[in-house]
Amino acid sequence: MSIFVTGDVHGVAEYGASRFSSRVWPLGRTLTRDDVVIVAGDFGFIWSGSNTDKYWLDWFESKPWTTCFVDGNHENHHLLAGLPIREWNGGLVHEARPHVLHLMRGEVFDIAGNTVLAMGGAASHDKQWRREGKTWWPEEMPSESEVEYCRASLDRVGWKVDYVVTHEAPVDLADELCMECNREFYDDSLQAFLGELDGRLDYRTWFFGHYHDDEWRDEKHRLIYQDIVRIEARCADGFGETTSNYSEQER
């Protein structure tokens, strides 16, 4: 049983699903339903409820592994909220397909003997060009009740997990990354909350997406985009990977 993490897929807008094809990621053919691939936000295949959405959700369901995702800002949060809820590995999920699951905000999952905190959400930097209810939803940002729920979940596990998977980054990293990619830094409530977690939580590695790059930011924070890495991957000297990952060069 293995856990892998990858970054933003963006639905059909980016054809990000191609990274999961057998040609690109042959390891996927060897996996089973007990193996889990977690997308760190902006999954994007629950978007319009169209036949295209259904095709791609069925495509993911046809894969031998279980696909999970935290929500990003570029999701249809109204459709997500309407999906059936069930318990899975100790936490609550929205079920898009029996093996395509949205990891709900603030849940701690026990997957393959590892505890994983999932906390989706982020603020869209391009929302001025989007239409509310069509291509942008205010629910992209966690509510105060969701934040409090996350705190309560961590209280139950003594503020210690093995891994964290979010879409947004903790505030200090978000500030650095926005400066590097010439993106406006909002210093918003979610970034601040994730900064609080980062300072208080005992964890091994924090994976996050949103900033469209693949690199270790330091020894504990892994920005993930197109790579598909084993969750136990560790940062080596020089911020390289100590276990195999599937980088753009290998694709």
What pLDDT score was predicted for residue 94?
99
**What SS3 state is found at 132?**
strand
Structural element, H or E, at residue 220 = none
pTM for this entry:
0.92
What pLDDT score was predicted for residue 15?
74
CA proximity to 116, closest of 231, 218, 6, 217: 231
pLDDT tens-place values along the chain, 251 residues long: 999 999 999 998 777 789 999 999 999 999 999 999 999 999 999 999 999 999 999 999 999 999 999 999 999 999 999 999 999 999 999 999 999 999 999 999 999 999 999 999 998 877 777 888 788 788 989 999 999 999 999 999 999 999 999 999 999 999 899 888 877 767 689 999 999 999 999 999 999 999 999 999 999 999 999 999 999 988 766 556 654 444 433 33
**Among the CATH numbers 1.20.1050, 3.40.1350, 3.60.21, 3.30.200, which is that of 3-244?**
3.60.21
Which residues, at least 6 apart from 195, have a Cβ–Cβ distance to it below 8 Å? 170, 171, 172
Which structure tokens are listed for 165? 């998977």
Can you list the alpha helix ranges (DSSP code H) found in the chain?
11-14, 51-62, 77-81, 144-156, 171-180, 189-200
Instruction: List the domain boundaries for the chain.
Output: 3-244
Instruction: Give CA–CA dist 145/104, Å, rounded.
Output: 13
**What SS3 state is found at 195?**
helix
Query: Quick check: 173 and 210 in contact, CB under 8 A?
Result: no
